[in-house]
Chain A
Amino acid sequence: MARSSGFSTNLNTKRQSTGMRPLIVFSLISVLLLTFYIREGETGPIHAVRSGVTTITSPVRFLGSAVAAPFNAVGNVFSNLTASQDTLDELKKQNEELTSKVAELSEAQKTAERLEGLVGLQSTYNLKSTAARIVGASGDAWTSTVTIDKGSADGLTINMPVTSSAGVIGQIIEVSAKTSTVRLIGDENSGVSAMVQDTRAQGMLQGQADGTLRLEYVSVDSDVKVGDIIVTSGIGGVFPKGLPLGTVSSVEKSANDVYYTIVVRAQTTAENNEEVLVITSLTDEQSALDEDVNTANSTPQGTSRDAATKTKDESPDDSSDTSETTDSGSSE
């Protein structure tokens, strides 16, 4: 009798196993993880665990990048495959092989050009840098990041700026032993101290939700027009001054506005398998001097375009279009 009663109780317990207990436990763990993640800042145990996970999964990322690479180069081949012609199979096969080779060689040529550009950029700005390759983008849809194939084992640390041959692409936000995550300048949480190259008007280049770039906090007293080149100001202390960021694509000002609404077209995009430079340290010439900071504070609107042109004409090195920035780089 007693045994029968015990059986009935146990069966009921089994039936009520609806996952409520693990739900409560794991929900609490998740909330605790989120709390610790927010509180620990840029380094801490949770970031260390993430770094470990990234290191472990990096071979899979590299493999995924390698698998995806041919699709970037020979995307057109697939559209050709849909046209079936039985009598011309051999010819078609040869055509595909040749198309693949042409795409491969074109890609190799572009790679060579990019590398040449990187060497040129490194030489022009006298950058202390490490070359790396983009091996993937963000795994989620909400952040604009890319993964590069160099990490803390190669001397990379958080906050190091990353450039391509055409200009700045972003900044390192996560580092594991073999890979690093770079937040692109188009990300909503990205901000780079920038200025208009010609007039030295100061601002902050920020990514937007729609993926565009905006130069914020540029006073309406400044002289800014479409086509102006935006470069890093170096005031933030992270990016070398004078690196190209983009070109002004529109300038708007409403009545009573204090600042312009300036949309900037990025100078470069971060494509998969592209080579990039991680700037590992800045020289004194590349950092903004106290004088630069004082000038930026006293005249954030910069100078007039005429004055800037006059100064440029008087400069002995008139080949430089980034004024003192490029001059200092070249003199190294």
Chain B
Amino acid sequence: MDLHEQGMSSRTFVIAAIVCVLLQAGLAPQISIAGGRVNFMIILVCLSVFSGDPTRAVVCGFCSGLFYDLSAAVPVGVMSLLLTVGSFALVHSAAGQTGGTPSARGITVGAFAFVVNVIYSIILLFMGLETSFVVAIFGHALPSSILTGLVAIPFLMSGVVPQSGYGFSARGGRQTGMRFKPKTRKLK
């Protein structure tokens, strides 16, 4: 029963990943509000973080970032690095582990997107691809983060991620404090 539910979760996640990739390629270039654009790859990374395995979150972070880099006219490797490190940090943080309502998680996604976008802007500034710190942060990073957080809410409500958290843990590890372990080992 446990294994069956895990399989369903993986399948749902794969579907969500495909949807996010298609939306990033097809819809993100068409929507721009106040200088911001939705980053569906950040949403995908957050879905992977909320749904479980740290290793999967990191792998998903790298792949999502790489797809973002390759599908836009931006330096390849920057977003993949940020989302790899970001997913690792988020999956081990309290915000990435505690449960909550979709709107609360939407705020988490928005905050995560803001941190990623701000660091991304700073890297672009250092690379000479951006010239104004104010415009980069308040003209691009902030509206993009708000948009991303808002668009993430329907994804979070769609059942891709568990609606309840794994419970509190003083040690902060994903595997600790869980009532049901994702994998069990039979004693021989």
Q: Which A residues contact B (CB, under 8 angstroms)?
A: 3, 7, 10-11, 14-15, 17-20, 22-23, 26-27, 29-35, 37-38, 46, 49-50, 53-54, 57, 60-61, 63-65, 67-68, 136-143, 145, 147, 173-174, 181, 183, 188-189, 208-210, 272
Contacts and interface: CB of A to CB of B under 8 A. Distances in A.
Nearest to A174: B73
Q: Tell which of A27, A31, A208 has the most Cβ of chain B within 10 Å.
A: A27
Contacts of B69: 33
Nearest to A272: B30
Interface residues of B, number: 66
A68 to B, nearest CB: 4
Contacts of A19: 53-55, 57-58, 88, 91
Given A22-B55, A30-B81, A31-B81, A64 B30 contact: yes
Contacts of B28: 139
A143 B74 contact: yes
Given A30-B81, A64-B30, A11 B185 contact: yes
Given A15-B176, A60-B26, A139-B37, 19 more contacts: A18-B174, A22-B58, A26-B80, A30-B77, A31-B77, A33-B80, A54-B70, A57-B25, A136-B30, A138-B73, A139-B68, A141-B32, A141-B143, A142-B121, A142-B136, A143-B73, A143-B74, A147-B29, A210-B135
A66 to B, nearest CB: 10
Interface string B126-154: 00011110011001110110000000000
Given A26-B80, A30-B62, A37 B175 contact: no
Contact of A142 (B53, B92, B129, B175): B129
B145 to A, nearest CB: 10
| A-B CB proximity, top 10 nearest | A34-B77, A64-B26, A209-B132, A19-B54, A30-B81, A33-B77, A136-B29, A26-B62, A68-B30, A139-B72
A61 B25 contact: yes
Given A64-B30, A142-B121, A57 B91 contact: no
B29 A209 contact: no
Contacts of A209: 130-132, 135-136, 139
22 contacts: A7-B187, A15-B176, A19-B55, A22-B62, A26-B58, A26-B59, A26-B61, A27-B81, A30-B62, A30-B78, A31-B77, A37-B77, A54-B70, A57-B25, A65-B30, A68-B27, A139-B68, A141-B35, A141-B36, A141-B144, A147-B29, A210-B132
A332 to B, nearest CB: 34
Contacts of B74: 140, 142-143
A139 B131 contact: no
Contact of B124 (A10, A61, A142): A142
Contacts of A64: 25-27, 29-30
Interface of B: 22, 24-32, 35-37, 39, 53-55, 57-59, 61-62, 65-78, 80-81, 84-85, 88, 91-92, 117, 120-121, 124, 129-132, 135-136, 139-141, 143-144, 173-176, 183, 185, 187-188
Contacts of B131: 188, 208-209
Contacts of A49: 70
B71 A139 contact: yes
Q: Tell which of B57, B88, B121 has the most Cβ of chain A within 10 Å.
A: B88
